[in-house]
Amino acid sequence: MSGKPKVLVARAIFPEHLALLEPHCELDYNAGDEPLTKAELAARLVDKRAALITGSERIDAGVLAQAGELSAICSISVGYNHIDIAACTGAGVLVTNTPEVLTETTADMGFALLMAAARRISESERWLREGHWKRWALDQFLGTDVHGSTLGIVGMGRIGRAIARRARGFAMNVVYHNRARLAPELEAQSAAQYLDLDSLLRVSDHVILVLPYSVENHHLIGASQLALMKPYATLSNIARGGLIDERALCAALREGRIAAAALDVFEGEPQVLEELLALRNVVLTPHLGSASRATRDAMARLAIANLVAVLAGDKPPCLVNPQAWGH
């Protein structure tokens, strides 16, 4: 029997990442990469000191109740709404995430989605592939300009500010809404004007959501908010699916009350509303915000650094719940 602490790796990771872990622990590795059910996850955590998870694993009080030896949950993600932080803190379980390393890549994806929605890239490509393109026409797939337009950023953390930097290259007027107004120096660096949410929705040609999900902002964008937007405006979401009332969005898109949307995240993912799948004027991607090889590598390495620190008795660098340290 190994005297090393036991660690669950809940999803498949790159071979070089396994090599980083193996000297420090005895691995229970889900090499098949099939998401574990709640019961399976709880059963495999019973004798584990720590777990390396992703956003697809849900950690709640029920799972923790069976994991008496657990001291850390290390997530390969910047968001952590899939983890009950209060329950973890109460159980003395450290929670870590992977901030900063995915900022620029996710901002790239956000801007790509914004442009795809504005210029009807997905819609026109599908139409072309279906064999409909027989001639050029002056009014064929007219979109909305990105350059010189007004961009509304909802959530002005690191990723929101990175998107604002990209917007400067397109001579966009940037407005933003945030839980708290940025410090004057950060606001100046972003060349962005603070507005309340309703005002931002009224004036923006393109709106992008980049804020963390919480119970308080569930369906932050619903029917009444969509009604404030311009009929030729676009809405993009690279944050969390629960921020948008997807049925209200489908109605607005179907009825032409906004021009287009682009979604990388969904409330019930990996399930997607049939109504969304049927619409042509929405770009849909399967949660790819940080999906570059270099960034996913950096995320996994940071999550592993957090985990190894915990196993060594050290405070991990990206601790979400410092109240649990020393519990």
CATH topology of domain 103-284: Rossmann fold (3.40.50)
Catalytic residue (choose from 158, 165, 218, 269): 269
Give CA–CA dist 93/74, Å, rounded. Answer: 10
Q: List Cβ neighbours of 34 (8 Å cut-off, separation of 6 or more).
A: none
Catalytic residue (choose from 206, 240, 296, 301): 240
| pLDDT higher than 50, residue 290 | yes
pLDDT in tens, 102-116: 999 999 999 999 999
Query: Rounded mean pLDDT of 124-137?
Result: 97
pLDDT in tens, 150-195: 999 999 999 999 999 999 999 999 999 999 999 999 999 999 999 9
Query: Rounded mean pLDDT of 213-231?
Result: 96
The angle at the Cα of 53, spanning 47 to 59, to the nearest 5 degrees, equals 70
The token pair that represents 101 in the structure block = 């390393």
Q: Do domains 6-101+293-324 and 103-284 have the same CATH topology?
A: yes
CB count in 10 Å sphere of residue 290: 23
Give CA–CA dist 299/99, Å, rounded. Answer: 8
Position 2 scores a pLDDT of: 56
pLDDT in tens, 223-279: 999 999 999 999 999 999 999 999 999 999 999 999 999 999 999 999 999 999 999
- Where residue 191 falls (left for φ over 0; alpha for ψ -120 to 50; beta otherwise) is left
Tell me the three state secondary structure of residue 151.
strand
Give CA–CA dist 262/115, Å, rounded. Answer: 9
The angle at the Cα of 249, spanning 247 to 253, to the nearest 5 degrees, equals 120
Q: Is 269 a catalytic residue?
A: yes
Inter-residue contact 268 to 241 (CB < 8 Å) = yes
Q: Is 219 a catalytic residue?
A: no
CA atoms 272, 273, 274, 276: torsion sign: negative
Position 326 scores a pLDDT of: 77
pLDDT in tens, 22-72: 999 999 999 999 999 999 999 999 999 999 999 999 999 999 999 999 999
Tokens 């500010």: give the residue: 161
Catalytic residue (choose from 24, 58, 219, 287): 287
- Give domain limits for the chain: 6-101+293-324, 103-284
Inter-residue contact 201 to 208 (CB < 8 Å) = no
Query: Rounded mean pLDDT of 61-89?
Result: 95
CATH number of 6-101+293-324: 3.40.50.720
- Give the number of residues written for the chain: 327
Report residue 84 CA to chain centroid gap.
17
| pLDDT higher than 90, residue 1 | no
Percent of the chain with pLDDT over 90: 98
Query: Rounded mean pLDDT of 272-299?
Result: 97
Tell me the three state secondary structure of residue 272.
coil
pLDDT band (50, 70, 90) for residue 3: confident
The amino acid sitting at 108 is: D
Q: Is 287 a catalytic residue?
A: yes
